[in-house]
């Protein structure tokens, strides 16, 4: 007999500690049990069909139930399920995947160091950039500048690089040598200012910080091309070229965390390509395997790789699962699928523009004060009075109210404060985008009605 939903929920709350979860609150209502996925849909243990507007957690880019990925894993497990790359050994899928990623990333890059997640890969980067500067005889260049509201993972380094105040409040973070500047959030910080001028100003905060810390102490700047978990914060187009100019001026390494933006999400293989940035290092994870199996890594630019390889000696770093053959085989099959179905081009030319068009129409809704998209990420802001730019009281948790209505309507949409965001599978069709947007509209209507009934809105 399969377990009933309430039996699973009881076991869940007895023994399974979830990421980023208030367990006392969860125990009162019980976790939703997801049992199956196909295409852009998932099903829960009660048989409800749900449109997954978040690709799991920004990762299931080719959609659920793709046999090609399953077969690649099975085949590799039969031949060689595991071997390490520590002691002068290597394996075929890891070599092939590194080569493939370098070809996609372009001629500025030469090597890939694999890990199993985005967090680990950002830890790798912190150690790598410090080892780089030490090798060059400048060990005092160790400070890494990041941004508030950034998300770079949940390990000690990842969470420190990240700019989430809630995460810094626990466990004594950030670790030393990591400082933050304000994010380039035009709508939130300076809605009345010209967007392009704001982009230049926001990038200028990097230069201010460099001068404050001392240019000879700064190792690198890190940023997501589009901030994901922070609420889909899309920078003005002037921002990244100016960031690049400032990094060049002071000789600072530029790191782009492409964990969400990489592998097609924005309509290019890497988001930085579209932003006018030329990172020396890129972090990837999530979309590289479409989440079917854990894999992450660092794409290392020649500037860094040449120093490390020629003069760095042994880099005392790596993971048991670096270059895991099964994970790499699944990634290769995933890249095959993305290429065969032309998903990157589809996002750029077809589905991305369609999503943008649909979100522009959602901006007309009385609750929606702003709506933005880039490729296949989108965000909208809920406001009490959009004309007066008046936000809801934070304690009302209006985003959570909206998310509850999304669940009830069979749609996964995420709330970040009062920003509602989606990052659907890149395999989503235009018709499925229409279906998603129709659901979003219903959820906004239901949210508006509840807010009026509760007297939160006129």
Ligand X SMILES: *Cc1c(COP(=O)(O)O)cnc(C)c1O
Residue 313 to residue 330: CA distance in whole angstroms: 32
Is 242 near ligand X (CB under 6 A)?
no
Q: By Cβ distance, which residue is nearest to ligand X?
A: 118
Q: What is the DSSP string of 22-82?
A: -HHHHHHH----EEEEEBTEEEETT--EEEETTHHHHT-TT-B--HHHHHHHHHHHHH-S-
Q: Which stretch binds ligand X (CB under 6 A): 8-16, 164-172, 253-261, 422-430?
A: 253-261
DSSP H/E element including 247: helix 239-250
Among 229, 304, 327, 416, binds ligand X (CB under 6 A): 229
Binding part of the chain for ligand X, among 33-41, 63-71, 112-120, 235-243 by CB under 6 A, reads 112-120
Contact 411, 397 (CB under 8 A): no
Q: Which is nearer to ligand X, 206 or 377 (CB)?
A: 377
9 binds ligand X (CB under 6 A): no
Give the span between the Cα atoms of 192 and 214, in whole angstroms.
33
> What does the longest C-alpha to C-alpha distance in the chain come to?
69
117, 290, 322, 351: which one contacts ligand X (CB under 6 A)?
117
Q: Which is nearer to ligand X, 118 or 379 (CB)?
A: 118
The 42-81 site mask, x for binding ligand X (CB under 6 A), equals ----------------x-----------------------
CA–CA distance, 440 with 381 (Å, rounded to integer): 13
The nearest distance, CB 376 to ligand X, in angstroms, is 14
Which residue in 224, 242, 280, 372 binds ligand X (CB under 6 A)? 224
Q: Which is nearer to ligand X, 118 or 199 (CB)?
A: 118
Applying CB under 6 A, does 228 fall inside the site for ligand X? yes
Q: Which is nearer to ligand X, 285 or 330 (CB)?
A: 285
Nearer to ligand X by Cβ, of 162 and 267: the residue is 162
49-52 and 41-44 beta bridge pairing: antiparallel
Least Cα distance to 142 among 117, 97, 95, 175 occurs for 175
- CA neighbours within 13 Å on the CB side: how many for 135? 19
Q: Does 279 bind ligand X (CB under 6 A)?
A: no
Structural element, H or E, at residue 298: strand 296-301
In the complex with ligand X, which residue's Cβ is closer, 225 or 370? 225
SS (H, E, C) 212-245: HHCHHHEEEEEECCCECCCCCECCCCCHHHHHHH
Read off the tokens for 234.
């899309």
Stretch that binds ligand X, among 30-38, 221-229, 366-374, 421-429 (CB under 6 A): 221-229
Give the one residue of 260, 277, 381, 402 binding ligand X; rule: CB under 6 A: 260
Footprint on this chain of ligand X (rule: CB under 6 A): 58, 117-119, 151-153, 224, 228-229, 257, 259-260, 285-286, 296
């Amino acid at each position: 007999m399969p377990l009933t939903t309430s039996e699973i929920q009881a076991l869940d709350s007895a023994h399974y500690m979830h990421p980023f979860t208030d367990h006392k609150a969860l125990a009162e209502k019980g976790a939703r049990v997801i049992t199956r996925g196909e295409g852009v849909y998932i099903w829960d243990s009660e048989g409800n069909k749900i449109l997954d507007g978040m690709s799991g957690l920004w990762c299931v880019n080719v959609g659920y139930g793709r046999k090609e990925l399953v077969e690649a894993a099975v085949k590799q497990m039969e031949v060689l399920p595991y071997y390490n790359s520590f002691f002068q050994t290597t394996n075929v899928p890891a070599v092939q995947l590194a080569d493939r990623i370098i070809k996609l990333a372009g001629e500025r890059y030469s090597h890939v160091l694999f890990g199993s997640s985005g967090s680990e890969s950002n830890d790798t980067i912190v150690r790598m950039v410090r080892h780089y500067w030490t090798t060059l005889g400048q060990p005092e260049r160790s400070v890494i500048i990041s941004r508030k509201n950034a998300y770079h993972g949940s390990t000690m380094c990842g969470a420190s690089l990240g700019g989430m105040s809630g995460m810094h409040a626990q466990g004594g973070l950030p670790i030393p040598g990591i400082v933050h500047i304000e994010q380039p959030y035009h709508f939130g910080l300076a809605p009345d200012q010209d967007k392009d001028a704001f982009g230049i100003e926001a990038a200028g905060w990097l230069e201010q910080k460099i001068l404050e810390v001392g240019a000879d102490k700064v190792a690198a700047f890190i940023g997501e091309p589009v901030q994901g978990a922070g609420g889909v914060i899309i920078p003005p187009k002037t921002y990244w070229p100016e960031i690049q100019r400032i990094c060049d001026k002071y000789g600072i390494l530029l790191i782009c965390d492409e964990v969400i933006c990489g592998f097609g999400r924005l309509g290019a293989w890497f988001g930085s390509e579209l932003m006018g940035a030329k990172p020396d290092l890129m972090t990837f994870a999530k979309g590289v395997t479409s989440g079917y199996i854990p894999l992450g890594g660092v794409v290392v630019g020649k500037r860094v790789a040449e120093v490390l390889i020629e003069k760095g000696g042994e880099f005392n770093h790596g993971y048991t699962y670096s270059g895991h053959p099964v994970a790499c085989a699944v990634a290769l099959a995933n890249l095959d699928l993305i290429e065969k179905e032309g998903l990157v081009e589809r996002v750029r030319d077809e589905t991305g523009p369609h999503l943008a068009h649909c979100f522009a129409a959602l901006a007309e809704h009385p609750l929606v004060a702003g709506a933005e998209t880039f490729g296949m990420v989108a965000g909208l802001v809920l406001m009490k009075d959009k004309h007066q730019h008046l936000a809801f009281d934070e304690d009302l948790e209006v985003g959570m109210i909206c998310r509850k209505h999304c669940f009830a309507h069979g749609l996964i949409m995420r709330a970040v404060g009062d920003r509602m965001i989606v990052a659907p599978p890149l395999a989503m069709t235009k018709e499925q985008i229409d279906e998603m947007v129709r659901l979003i509209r219903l959820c906004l209507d239901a949210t508006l009605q509840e807010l009026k009934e509760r007297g939160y809105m006129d």
